[in-house]
Amino acid sequence: MTAVLQKGGPMFPKDLYIDLGTENTRIYAKRKGILLNQPTIIAHSKKINLEVTGEAAKKMIGRAPTNYSVHKPMQKGVVKDFEYAKDLLTNFLKDAKNEMLFSRSRILISLPIEVDKEEKEMFRALAYELGAGTVHLVSEPMAGAVGTGKDIFSKKPSMFLDLGAGTSEIIVTANGRISYSEAVRVGGNDINSAIIEVLKSEHHFSVGEQTAEFIKKETAVLDLNSIEARTCKASGLNLKTGFPENRVVDSTMIQSALIPTFDRLSKLLCDKLDQWPSEIISDVKKSGVIVFGGGSLIGGTAQHFSKIFDAPLSEPTIPLCR
């Protein structure tokens, strides 16, 4: 979502954008691009008072030494453990600080829409504590909406769907504000869990969380009638022989994980939208829906929700910053 600053008007020389997501955290700076793009994971050792963050911490999942504990402080769109979230962000900002002068920067931080007021103020205070000059907070779907280039200041309502790792959030904007918003706690991580279960129960093949994520990124296709199946090689455990195995996994093998998860997500979102005023629904069906976030990288996703909401795709999606 780096486009949020690129498209958001003039910036000070030391503007920073921080996207604190369930799965990944990104720090972007004007004229320098992405300073940091790391998993939102921290590993902590009380024994030697050492913290490992990002990719290094992710590699420790399932194989961490006994004196380490691995944590994902952001889960399902909320701060599960603020202290670890604080430590993680502190370490990330220090890493970014090595790339440019951080003191007195103007910082924009995007947070999940369901983060409460107290937690928002804690993040604001933390940024000031680390030397920020000015701190602004924005919800992740609003940041993504700005990044798409859509005119959110228009009087006409626009609908955006942000498919994240922990939550899926839908908003309607008009006059530069969020008019309506809903969040459901179904996201990419639920698909990973479903892939693990389906491969185990249907194919006698056991994989871990990171491998499931890899399989999803490489092979997940929602509509095999219009998109060709994809394949990848994955490492796991053959549950029949008990030995490690490298196996080719294709899109058809994970359909029974993908379809039920998207059906559940679609029903939850539609139930929420049914509570909105009919005038708003009518307006957004005319203007269309823009789909972004990691989940929109799955083949056929945007078209799926266009059909579910009975609304055209407003414009090409901009899934993630790369």
Express each pLDDT in 153-199 by its tens digit.
999 999 999 999 989 999 999 999 999 999 999 999 999 999 999 99
pLDDT digit string, tens, across residues 40-68: 999 988 777 788 999 999 988 888 788 88
Q: At the fourth CATH level, which superfamily is domain 193-220+227-257?
A: ATPase, substrate binding domain, subdomain 4 (3.90.640.10)
pLDDT digit string, tens, across residues 245-297: 999 999 999 999 999 999 999 999 999 999 999 998 999 888 889 999 999 99
**294 Cβ neighbours under 8 A, 6+ residues apart:** 23, 163, 164, 165, 188, 319, 320
Q: What average pLDDT does this structure show over 294-312?
A: 92
The proportion of the chain whose per-residue pLDDT surpasses 90, expressed as a percent, equals 55
Centroid of chain to Cα 242: 35
Q: Are strands 134-139 and 106-111 parallel, antiparallel or unpaired?
A: parallel
User: How confident is the model at residue 8, as a pLDDT?
Assistant: 46
Name residue, tokens 């940091």. Answer: 36
Q: What predicted TM-score, i.e. pTM, was given to this entire model?
A: 0.86
User: How confident is the model at residue 135, as a pLDDT?
Assistant: 93
Whether the predicted pLDDT of 235 surpasses 70: yes
Amino acid 11 reads: M
pLDDT band at 1 (very low <50, low <70, confident <90, very high): very low
User: How confident is the model at residue 10, as a pLDDT?
Assistant: 44
Whether the predicted pLDDT of 11 surpasses 80: no
Per-position b or e across 24-51, b if 16+ CB within 10 A of its CB: bbbbbbbeeebbbbbbbbbbbeeeeeeb
Give the residue, 126 or 306, on which the prediction is more confident: 306
Q: What is the DSSP letter of 87?
A: H
Annotation: CATH topology of 151-186+259-309: Nucleotidyltransferase; domain 5 (3.30.420)
Whether the predicted pLDDT of 319 surpasses 70: no
User: How confident is the model at residue 315, as a pLDDT?
Assistant: 66
Q: What average pLDDT does this structure show over 234-254?
A: 97
Helix (H, G, I), strand (E, B) or coil at 234: strand
User: So where are the chain's domains?
Assistant: 3-143, 151-186+259-309, 193-220+227-257
Helix (H, G, I), strand (E, B) or coil at 210: helix
pLDDT digit string, tens, across residues 97-117: 654 556 678 899 998 888 888
What would the DSSP string read from start to end of 157-192?
Answer: -EEEEEE-SS-EEEEEEETTEEEEEEEES--HHHHH
Q: Kindly report the CA angle at 138 between 87 and 147, in degrees rounded to 5?
A: 110
User: How confident is the model at residue 80, as a pLDDT?
Assistant: 85
Distance CA 254, CA 183 (A): 26
Q: Domain spanning 3-143 has what CATH number? A: 3.30.420.40
Tokens of 10: 């003039």
Whether the predicted pLDDT of 206 surpasses 60: yes
Helix (H, G, I), strand (E, B) or coil at 250: strand
CATH topology agreement for domains 151-186+259-309 and 193-220+227-257: no
Lowest mean pLDDT, pick from 10-24, 117-131, 295-309: 10-24
pLDDT band at 320 (very low <50, low <70, confident <90, very high): low
pLDDT band at 317 (very low <50, low <70, confident <90, very high): low
